[in-house]
Amino acid sequence: MSDVHPQEQPQPIPLETTSGVSGDRNDEQSDVLQKSVRKNGRFQNPWPTFKIPGVRGVCKWMCCSTNYSGIPSKRELDKTLPILIPDMNEIKHAPPSGIRVTWIGHATVLVQFDGVSILTDPIFSKRCGPTQFMGPKRFRNPPCTIDELPKIDAVLISHTHFDHLDVNSVKKLNSRFGQSLRWFVPMGLLGWMQSVGCHNVVELDWWQGSCLLSDSKVEFVFTPAQHWCRRSAFDLNKVLWGSWAVIGPHYKFFFSGDTGYCEAFQQIGKRYGPFDLAALSIGAYTPQWFMKCQHVNPEEAVQIHQDLRARKSIGIHWGTFALAYEHYLEPPQNLREALEERQLSDDEFFTVKHGETRFLFEDERRNQSTE
């Protein structure tokens, strides 16, 4: 298969109103949705809640803020944050009913439902940086290799930061699965993907959707987030960033990528909710004065969970790389406190160990078919 032809690319959905968007219609016939904004070739955050600190702020964060991450020795980590080896026979195929989710680490999640296996923001490298000689080093290894993964049908990329778009992982996945693997990426990333050898690529703007060539039953919709993109000194925000809504015939999945809290999640929840499972970032938020616009804390993640009307959520983007200054075990603890404050169960919004698999709703369709 060659590059995705123009006729295979999804047609733009009207950006001001969305009378043609798939998903549940919860009230009026058309909802106003926030379109992406691009000026002089660079995307911009339309949210009033976004204001990223400048160079002075970066220097203050790196030089004057206290780092509480406290990463201990490997021996201690094996006790406090153990790595489980996934049962490869168990995750070999998507389950016949329900949702199966396996946390690989950071924002990399294997989600399997409605006949498809999906990988989010894959990073299996030791470091997240322009090379493997610089950039933050992971303190918890992946629980499996790319060669050990089951067959992957789709990969979702949320944005271009090195901890979410890892060139080594992209190349290895492409080498293993080739044209059978479809990549869903933000607007502006198609050329980069093709330059590293990936040609089964769909590039989307906010609120645009597409499907697998082999299966049109599951729709992949690129949805907004509050973040930014950069991989070099010259490409600031030339690629869009966002989140993903995956709409299957029986289940709906949401992947947040990186984001600060904004009103986009109310729009997404209204348009596509309720979601059956959401993978939401809960880490890399300290110090708040610096991180708030680009990363949510656990309390804000719980608000997103409620905005999306998610039945279940899994906390990701923690416990793998020390990208901010909170204690490495603080995110799940603060998540439990936030859930308790809102009288929500920690079974509703949970965390798992690296490599751990969780089954959700596995008997629902089977029970419904026998009723």
Q: Could you report the per-residue pLDDT of 308-325, keeping only the tens digit for each?
A: 999 999 999 999 999 999
For the stretch 257-310, pLDDT in tens is: 999 999 999 999 999 999 999 999 999 999 999 999 999 999 999 999 999 999
Angle CA 327–333–336, to nearest 5: 155
For the record, the structure tokens of 231 come out as 């991989």
Cβ-based neighbour number of residue 109 at 10 Å: 24
Q: Can you give the pLDDT at residue 299?
A: 98
Percent of the chain with pLDDT over 90: 82
CB neighbours of 191 closer than 8 A, spacing ≥ 6? none
Confidence of residue 248 (pLDDT cuts 50, 70, 90): very high
Average pLDDT over residues 5-20: 36
For the stretch 172-208, pLDDT in tens is: 999 999 999 999 999 999 999 999 999 999 999 999 9
User: Is pLDDT above 90 for 12?
Assistant: no
Nearest CA to 105 out of 166, 182, 172 is that of 166
More confident residue, 213 or 75: 75
Average pLDDT over residues 104-116: 98
Percent of the chain with pLDDT over 70: 89
Q: Can you give the pLDDT at residue 32?
A: 84
Q: Can you give the pLDDT at residue 28?
A: 43
How far apart CA 161 and CA 128 sit, in angstroms, is: 9
Question: Does this model's pTM top 0.75?
Answer: yes
User: Is pLDDT above 50 for 6?
Assistant: no
